[in-house]
Homo-oligomer: A and B are copies of this chain.
Amino acid sequence: MTDRDPIAAARAQWISHGWPDAADGMALVTSVVRAQQLLHERVEATLRPHGLTFARYEILRLLAFSRQRSMPMSRLGSLLQVHATSVTSAVARLETQGLVERLRRESDRRVVLASLTAAGEELVERATRDLNEQVFSSPGLDATQVRDATRLMSALRATHGDVVDDVTGA
């Protein structure tokens, strides 16, 4: 006996308990949480054979895009929108794996530069190829839906203070 959609069921409960004005918002929040969970699982499964998690992959990816193959810890945190201590622990693991090394900037010795090693550079390219093939090129919606959904998520981000380009939707 298969259960019904838990989110649709929760929405019905919300209405029958006298919270109709909040029911759609509840369903939206719950749907986004669940969609993120499913996408995250696919991404993690793809990265696992490479010994990476998404958090660590994102750091390698940013470093590989940068000119110097290195970046201050604080800049990683602000670009990835995570707490500084999360960056510290992720970079510590990447350093243990030999994918990144820490350098202290001479002109300002407070700054720690996370710098990609040759091994890190090779790994991030292989991992990116797999992610593109196994997740990003077929995320589970058709091209129109992908564009619409991305635009709606951007609008949501914008109302929460994120800097967002292109909400108007050309």
Task: Say whether A33 contacts B39, CB under 8 Å.
Answer: yes
Known: A13-B65, A143-B24, A159-B140. A5 touches B164 (CB 8 A): yes
The secondary-structure label for the interface of chain A is helix
Q: Closest residue of chain B to A27, judged by CB? A: B150
Which residues in chain A, 25-69, are within 8 Å of chain B measured between CB atoms? 25-29, 31-40, 42-43, 65
Which residues of B lie under 8 Å from residue A13 when comparing CB positions?
A: 65
With contact pairs A38-B156, A150-B27 given, residues A137 and B32 touching in the complex (Cβ less than 8 Å): no
Distance (Å) between the CB of A133 and the closest chain B CB?
A: 8
Interface residues of A in 118-170 (CB under 8 A from B): 128, 131-133, 135-141, 143, 145-150, 152-157, 159-160, 162-166
| A residues with CB within 8 A of B | 2-8, 13, 19, 21-29, 31-40, 42-43, 65, 78-81, 128, 131-133, 135-141, 143, 145-150, 152-157, 159-160, 162-166
Task: Known A-B contacts: A6-B163, A21-B132, A38-B162. Give 5 more (CB < 8 A).
Answer: A3-B79, A6-B81, A8-B166, A23-B136, A26-B131
